[in-house]
Structure 1
């Protein structure tokens, strides 16, 4: 959150103020039409950056989800490698992990493609603005209302505006990525625990160590029942194990 506030206050706001100052100066030093071109260029550049970055945010979420699935697959297979070897599921786990990697690579490709598309669109808007301004300056030079030095002044100011605007896109993307990457943490913090202490709850007093289980059933998803309604007890300090088929 601190990085987001510092980026907005010390990077984005000064750039927006710089655009207004430069456009006002160009309107007085050159022609009002030049200032209009600057406002149109910046007014097209910023919304375009926001719209495409929002689209890239969705792709970023998909890439993060694919990365989490890939990491979970690999971690689960490594932590339970003994079970995988016992039931000879090496090919299955390898196929699942390969599919997770393929999904992540597809999501990563889409994210990189959207990044390159954003750069192309931003460059097109800025070059269109510079070309339009040069046409106005060329017309002023031919009418002797502007000089070649005024044209150089326009190019210099546009180049100075283009640099901060380019960083504006980077700053907005950075803020967007910060917000997306924090979503999982915010969702985790917003969850209510399934087991919580109720008001006036009594402390658990353990008098004996035996455990009694009644009518226990278990089955895998969309599979046949493995354990069906059994009753058993575990004495204190003892361990019980159950062996059954794996689906």
Structure 2
């Protein structure tokens, strides 16, 4: 549920707003940089000096917070799963007097999500003000060096004033691009979670030479069928069973004997570990 609702929304937000804003900011940077170098190439170099620091800082920030975003989305998914299971089944919870247990489970998951969000807020609270501080240092440096050039007569006050204005016009998209790293990482993390599902190969899949079944009569046969789960636990061993068309069969046995597993094998939710199951003579793995 979390992947379908929250993760897709983050990816959609980045695709509809983030990419457009990214290219707009890049165009503004190029345009303003040309103006700055036209006015004073020495001061323009000073304006660009904070850029490598911001790039390195953004890279370190991204590397640090990427894994934390993964944890946050997993915690949110766990919390959503608890709500999806508990709220519709509230009558069952009350019937078995499990209110306190479910409340404690919810509180525990909420606290885990809170702790991860605190880490995210802490890192973002350090990084984004630092971005502003570095850009302010760049602007102050322009004032200082520009003032020296005015005193030496190589620059006029009007040019410096205009240059400072363009300096902040240059730093605005730089700041947005640095802040956009958070949006990009949120979307990238969500995209990874989405593709984990999309790229999951089904345990049961059609064979390359699968055939379409004709109208069936319903003659089912188990041919020496054995089945074990991935954990290695063998549930069924050497089952031979025939169910004729129209015949009704009841499966009786203690819990864990394999009744449900046997029914799921007929529906081909799983494939047998050994042997085969046929319906009207067709092997289920070949249809």
TM class by smaller structure: 0.7 to 0.9
Alignment: residue pair count? 231
Please tell me the root mean square deviation across aligned C-alpha atoms, in Å. Answer: 3.8
Partner Cα distance (1:113, 1:188) in 2: 31
Give 1:171 deviation, angstroms.
3.2
**2:218 equivalent among 196, 200, 207:** 207
Unpaired stretches in structure 1, ≥5 consecutive residues: 222-226
CA distance in 1: counterparts of 2:126 and 2:148, whole angstroms: 33
Is contact 1:15-1:165 (8 Å) kept?
Answer: no
- Aligned pair in 2 of structure 1 residues 16, 54: CA closer, same or farther (>3 Å)? farther
Hey, what's the Cα distance between the residues in 1 that align with 2:90 and 2:254?
Answer: 20
CA distance in 1, matches of 2:255, 2:99: 21
Asked if 1:17 is matched to 2:26, the reply is: no
Q: Give how far 1:73 is off.
A: 1.7
Counterpart position of 1:99? 108
**Stretch of structure 1 that moved more, 197-206 or 118-127:** 197-206
2:47 to 38, 41, 58: 38
Q: How many Å separate the matches in 2 of 1:50 and 1:19?
A: 24
Specify the SS of the correspondent of 1:65: helix
CA apart distance, 1:5: 4.7
Alignment of 1:155-174 (within 5 A): 155-174=164-183
Q: Is the 8 A contact 2:82 2:106 kept in 1?
A: yes
Distance in 1, matches of 2:60 and 2:113, equals 24
Bigger mean CA offset, 142-151 vs 101-110: 142-151
State the shift of 1:75 in Å.
1.6
Q: Structure 2: how far apart are the matches of 1:41 and 1:216? A: 63
Q: 2:61 aligns with which of 52, 56, 69?
A: 52
Is the deviation greater in 152-161 or in 40-49?
Answer: 40-49
Please report how far the alpha carbon of residue 243 of structure 1 lies from its aligned counterpart in structure 2 after TM superposition: 7.6
Question: 1:75 maps to which residue?
Answer: 84
> How far did residue 160 of structure 1 move?
0.8
Q: Take 1:56 and 1:26, find their aligned partners in 2: how far apart are those partners?
A: 39
- TM-superposition CA deviations, 1:108-166 (whole Å, max 9, x none): 12212222212211011111111111110121122222222232122111111122222
CA distance in 2, matches of 1:25, 1:55: 39
Q: Secondary structure at the match of 1:172?
A: helix
Q: TM-score w.r.t. structure 2 length?
A: 0.66
Asked whether the 8 Å contact 1:23–1:35 carries over to 2, the reply is yes
Aligned counterparts of 2:183 and 2:158: Cα–Cα separation in 1: 38
Residue 59 and residue 133 in structure 1: after superposition, are their counterparts in 2 closer, same or farther (change >3 A)?
Answer: same
Equivalent pair of 1:12/1:171 in contact (CA under 8 Å): no
Q: Distance in 2 between matches of 1:37 and 1:136?
A: 9
Consecutive unaligned residues in structure 2, runs of 5 or more: 1-10, 257-287
- Hey, what does 2:184 align to over in structure 1? 175
Quickly say closer, same or farther: Cα 1:180–1:164, change in 2 above 3 A: same
Q: Is the 8 A contact 1:7 1:171 kept in 2?
A: no
Q: Provide the C-alpha distance between the structure 2 equivalents of 1:67 and 1:207, rounded to a whole number of angstroms.
A: 45
Structure 1 partner of 2:273: none
